[in-house]
Structure 1
Amino acid sequence: MSNLQMRAPIFRLRVNLVCIILLGLGAIFFNPIQAQDQRRSLTLRADVQKANAKTGIVTAAGNVQILYPQHKLKATAAKAQYFSRERRILMEGDVLIEHEGNNIQADKITYVIDEGRFEAETESSEAVETNVNLSQ
């Protein structure tokens, strides 16, 4: 009987801890402020990603996809680097950017976020290609 008394408080502690964790997760995932922040965030998807906290650089390789809804930007590339301190994205390898209904295609494109500026280069014999939607 003393073993049963010893186990009951531990069980209650575990149940309370699980409830606190579940409530915390609910606040994180269902908080409307969090959802608004997610709409403003940059999403980077790739086969491999590495981040360096000291330099503030995130490197992605393989099937890179970048989504930045606040800037109406979608991009694909073979490789990308996000320089958080400079707020700059460098994309390399068959880069395609869709921005506000316009397309830019090149071997290498740098996007300077705060200036909304693109710098496109090509290393092959093909030129940088830009398609501008004039109906806007």
Structure 2
Amino acid sequence: MGTWDIGPFDNDTAADFSYRVDEAPAEKKAEVLRTAFREVIETGDDYLDSDLAVEAIASAALVAAQCPGGEPVTTAYGPKQSLPELPAELRPPAVAALDRVLTPESELLELWEESDGEEWKAGVRKLRAVLAGA
């Protein structure tokens, strides 16, 4: 995975995921995000692959952008097309997926703890706070 910064879209996997979001019809975009959350949550206590975690974080950033206090996704690596209004029911699974990403059995967490882990975790927690508070 090529990573150049700590943001939700600052890696190759998230940039590729953005393309998948753009390619989905407007009425299916929410389902693409929901699937990313479900894939992470359904790992349970098993080891969480970093690519799944990255897609869940990118999805959470897109949902949080539509919440009060959320920051818009303005990076060139995010989706190019505007998202329709996303259902509020995506917020709880987004929170659950972010919580799962920050558990010990998470490859992405392990990778970040080898470098700028605290700053990265703070960004994930900020997304979580926006989603949980909405």
TM-score class normalised by the smaller sequence: under 0.3
| Larger RCO of the pair (alpha carbons < 8 Å, separation 6+) | 2
Q: Given the two structures, how large is their TM-score scaled by the length of structure 2?
A: 0.26
Q: Given the two structures, how large is their TM-score scaled by the length of structure 1?
A: 0.26
Higher Cα Rg, which structure: 1
